[in-house]
Amino acid sequence: MLSIALLVQNGLLAQDIIPSKVRSVSPMEMVALPAHLNPGMAVDLDNPASFLYPEWSNEYVHKFEDFELPDTVVISMKGYVMPTDSTRITDVYGYRPRRGRAHFGIDIKVRTGDTIRAAFDGKVRISRYERRGYGHYLVIRHPNGLETVYGHLSKKLVEENDIVHAGDPIGLGGNTGRSTGSHLHFETRILGNAVNPAYMFDFPNQKATTDYYVYSKNTREVYYKVRSGDTLSGIAARNATSVANICKLNGISRNAVIKVGQTLRVN
Ligand SMILES: [Zn+2]
């Protein structure tokens, strides 16, 4: 488990773990942690995680190309609530050979009508319906820098721009959108980048996996969609990695047949 204390022990000062957005301030302020890591600072729920997200928009689900991703983002799990009390994971995060594409969330078995709760305090950024995808779904932005996504709901209980508190009922479990069997599809994203929710939420044991999740640009997961004419060695070269690494990340052999449109994890 990586904690702030450990980072400091290892010689990393506070400013090393502060996103670069807040780094260019006066020396006195430089040691100030972002609000979500500093219990003495008030958290602005009207404008959550403004140190990371320069604007508030309800337009896109995951479109942050214009935003600068800091080298490191520290996500505090302080105040978390498990979104469901279900302990049964029915599909894990990552590449699924069965479907030939990546799964950017974790699926947890819930029954239609089960209460789904906000994982942290935050503000509802998206409350929408997508027939072929998420079904009824919500995206909530939290002061700690995380955005959480709740998909396949039977009912949404909050609207865009609503302020919610950790544990508030925000929807009911369901089977809407591209879903077979009622479940909660739960995603955790940082500036649009999907992160395995299991790094932060331990559903089988109903607790946080860690106190602080340290997201690093260097260790983030990168995916590639196979195009016509691609070979594993070509994909490896293009993504500055090795065929062996791609095989390991995706659980495939060197001789595996790759299909156009298939998503491979390349880092
Ligand atoms: Zn899912």
Whole-angstrom distance, CA of residue 191 vs CA of residue 128: 19
2 C-alpha to ligand 1 centroid (Å): 27
Is residue 17 predicted with pLDDT exceeding 70?
no
75 C-alpha to ligand 1 centroid (Å): 22
Task: List, in sequence order, every residue forming a beta bridge with 40; answer none if it has no partner.
Answer: none
The per-residue pLDDT for range 147-158, each reduced to its tens digit, is 999 999 999 999
Out of 17-26, 66-75, 93-102, 117-126, which region has the weakest mean confidence (pLDDT)? 17-26
Phi, psi of 54 (to 5 degrees): -70, -15
Residue 116 is encoded by which pair of tokens?
């789904």
Cβ-contact 106, 93 below 8 angstroms: yes
252 C-alpha to ligand 1 centroid (Å): 21
Out of 93-97, 176-180, 192-196, which region has the weakest mean confidence (pLDDT)? 93-97
The per-residue pLDDT for range 243-257, each reduced to its tens digit, is 888 888 888 889 988
Is the pTM higher than 0.75?
Answer: no
Out of 11-15, 164-168, 193-197, which region has the weakest mean confidence (pLDDT)? 11-15
240 C-alpha to ligand 1 centroid (Å): 29
254 C-alpha to ligand 1 centroid (Å): 28
What is the model's pLDDT at position 94?
80
Out of 62-66, 191-195, 251-255, which region has the weakest mean confidence (pLDDT)? 62-66
What is the average pLDDT across 203-222?
85
Closest listed residue to residue 196, CA positions, set 265, 86, 267, 106 = 106
Phi, psi of 22 (to 5 degrees): -105, 15
Residue 15 is encoded by which pair of tokens?
């400013």
- pLDDT band for position 265 (cuts 50, 70, 90): confident
259 C-alpha to ligand 1 centroid (Å): 22
Cβ-contact 73, 213 below 8 angstroms: no
Q: Give whichever of 4-8, 41-45, 110-114 has the largest mean pLDDT.
A: 110-114
What is the signed CA dihedral for 93, 206, 189, 259, rounded to 10 degrees?
A: 10
Can you say whether residue 31 is alpha, beta or left, with left for phi > 0 and alpha for psi between -120 and 50 degrees?
alpha
Please give the DSSP secondary-structure letter assigned to residue 189: E
Is residue 188 predicted with pLDDT exceeding 80?
yes
21 C-alpha to ligand 1 centroid (Å): 32
What is the average pLDDT across 205-234?
86
20 C-alpha to ligand 1 centroid (Å): 32
Residue 148 is encoded by which pair of tokens?
């959480």
Residue 46 is encoded by which pair of tokens?
């009207």
Whole-angstrom distance, CA of residue 65 vs CA of residue 19: 17
Query: CA-CA distances (angstroms) from residue 36 to 113, 144, 149?
Result: 32, 5, 20
264 C-alpha to ligand 1 centroid (Å): 17
Whole-angstrom distance, CA of residue 115 vs CA of residue 89: 17
User: In this structure, which amino acid lies at residue 9?
Assistant: Q
65 C-alpha to ligand 1 centroid (Å): 24
The per-residue pLDDT for range 71-120, each reduced to its tens digit, is 888 899 999 999 999 999 999 888 666 666 678 899 999 999 999 999 99
103 C-alpha to ligand 1 centroid (Å): 6
CB-based contacts of 177: which residues, under 8 Å, 6+ apart?
A: 129, 130, 131, 132, 133, 134, 135, 136, 137, 151, 152
Cβ-contact 162, 171 below 8 angstroms: no
85 C-alpha to ligand 1 centroid (Å): 17
More confident residue, 241 or 12: 241
